[in-house]
Amino acid sequence: MNPPYRSLHVALLFSGFFAALPAAENAYSRIGQDSMTVIDDTGWYLEEYDGLGRPFRGSRWENGEIVSRTDWTYPGDSAQCETSVTTGPSGSEETAYDSRGSEIRVTRKDEGGNVVSQTDRHWDEERREIARETRTGKTTTREEWQYADDGALTARKLYKNGVCVFTADYETETVWTETVYSDGSPLHSQRFVDGKKAAKP
């Protein structure tokens, strides 16, 4: 029998893969012990499994050439992916995951191997994202989220190169106040109720 995580991975991959493809009159798929193949009018995709049934390489062919390839790595015998690297004509994207499967870093490089951007994501013990920081060239943006004890979102903040440019403070899920900043000082605030602008109480 295939390990449960392969069955889940295949189900997710099929749903995402076919959703990304245009409608094809002729399609073929095969799932074996060591690989999965999907062929349609636009090309074909081969995903290979290691001895533990984990996907370690996925390749997409079009017009007889590989147009993208994804490689997965794992720590020891773990079923949880540690990194994935997708390479295509315009460059690559490497994603690192923590032991619970949450993304913790995404690095994008151009075709010459130069880093275009890097995003670090941070999570709390409840697996809620609390911060996301992206560095692109000389610009660093950071977004932060705060939560109440019951898990409700209470605040969202956005920084650019260390200076606050935007905040959103939540009274409830459907009532919040957004504030735009200039040079770190409040410039304009607007209250929203059910997604519509509202007067301040």
pLDDT digits (tens, 9 = 90+) for 23-57: 446 788 999 999 999 999 889 999 999 999 999 99
Task: Please give the tally of structural domains in the chain.
Answer: 2
**12 pLDDT higher than 50:** no
Asked if residue 41 and residue 8 are part of one domain, the reply reads yes
pTM of the model: 0.80
Residue 3: pLDDT over 60: no
Residues 6+ apart with CB under 8 A from 64: none
82 and 137 in a single domain? The answer is no
Lowest mean per-residue pLDDT among 7-16, 67-76, 97-106, 186-195: 7-16
Q: Exposed, middle or buried, 138 (CB in 10 Å: 0-12/13-18/19+)?
A: exposed
Residues 130 and 115 in one domain: no
* 14, 90: one domain: yes
Q: Quick count: other Cβ atoms within 10 Å of Cβ 41?
A: 11
Res 162: pLDDT: 97
105 and 12 both lie in a single domain: yes
Q: Which range marks the domain in which residue 130 is found?
A: 124-201
The reply to whether 114 and 84 lie within a common domain is yes
For residue 200, pLDDT beyond 80? no
| 73, 51: one domain | yes
**pLDDT score recorded for residue 55:** 96
The last residue of a domain, from among 72, 102, 121: 121
Share of the chain above pLDDT 70, in %: 87
User: Are 164 and 103 within one domain?
Assistant: no
Q: Average model confidence (pLDDT) for the chain?
A: 89
| Higher local confidence (pLDDT), 184 or 84 | 84
End-to-end CA distance of the chain: give it in Å, rounded.
Answer: 61
Distance in angstroms (rounded) separating the CA atoms of residues 178 and 170: 9
Higher pLDDT, 45 or 15: 45
Task: Choose one of 76, 102, 121: the last residue of a domain.
Answer: 121
Are 153 and 109 members of one domain? no
**Range 174-198 average pLDDT:** 96
CB-CB contact of 127 with 110 (8 Å) = no
Distance, CA of 113 to CA of 94 (rounded, Å):
12
Q: What is the mean pLDDT of residues 102-113?
A: 97
pLDDT (0 to 100) of residue 27: 81
- Interior angle at CA 132, CA 131 and CA 138, nearest 5: 130
Are 69 and 142 part of one and the same domain?
no
Domain limit, last residue, from 121, 139, 159: 121
Confidence band for 201, pLDDT divided at 50, 70 and 90: low
Alpha helix segments (H runs only) across the chain: 4-20
Closest CA to 108 of 119, 121, 131, 92: 92
Residues 91 and 159 occupy one common structural domain: no
Q: In this structure, are 129 and 116 located in the same domain?
A: no
